[in-house]
Copies of this chain bind each other. A is one copy, B any other.
């Protein structure tokens, strides 16, 4: 039985989701929250398997709630009404396991709940597109990113928390050079800044 918590500031939406989800024999809605703070509190209390989270909520919005969940960790599916591309990346980075738009087919939503509960990550097509092509212009050529020796070295130092100046000193090159390498690394990894690069490195064991 998949225990689901619904967080949405719109009562009708909650009601709709609840009744439909409760019709599924393997899903049970264990609670509803009207804002982010309540969602966090209930997540702690009810320990749901999956949290359906609206992004736009009063008091504390979805992303804020996501950030606050650190530790408890239900699987979170972000359910947003407006199809604002720019919300996708931050949400996924903050630990969401799914990203869907509210116009999603109910049956697809049920599938999503099951998939996410099973450990998968699920994105609406538009969201996936936003993630891949979105922020950076490159279509993310995929594959096991190939960095040059020098770039790997620079990345390792970034992942160690060093500044460009420190890296330049370590490698005995000009800071300008380091910047160039950093830019290339960011581009290749498809991330926006050194912090994301550092996180990428540790997560992928490149550090």
Contacts and interface: CB of A to CB of B under 8 A. Distances in A.
Interface of A: 60-61, 63-64, 67-68, 70-71, 90, 93-95, 149, 152-154, 156-163, 166, 169-172, 191-196, 198-199, 202, 205-207
B93 A162 contact: yes
A145 to B, nearest CB: 15
Number of copies of this kind of chain in the complex: 2
Contacts of A170: 61, 63-64, 67, 90, 94
Contacts of A158: 195
Contacts of A71: 205
Nearest to A198: B195
Contacts of A94: 156-157, 160, 162, 170
Contacts of A61: 170-172
A63 B170 CA distance: 5
A161 B67 contact: no
Contacts of A68: 149, 152-153, 156
Nearest to A191: B161
Nearest to A206: B70
Nearest to A156: B67
A193 B170 CA distance: 19
Contacts of A70: 152, 156, 206-207
Given A64-B171, A67-B156, A199-B199, 12 more contacts: A64-B153, A64-B170, A64-B172, A70-B152, A70-B206, A70-B207, A90-B157, A161-B196, A161-B199, A195-B198, A198-B198, A202-B202
A60 B171 CA distance: 7
A160 to B, nearest CB: 4
A194 to B, nearest CB: 5
A191 B152 CA distance: 23
Nearest to A68: B153
Given A70-B207, A157-B94, A198-B198, A193 B64 contact: no
B153 A195 contact: no
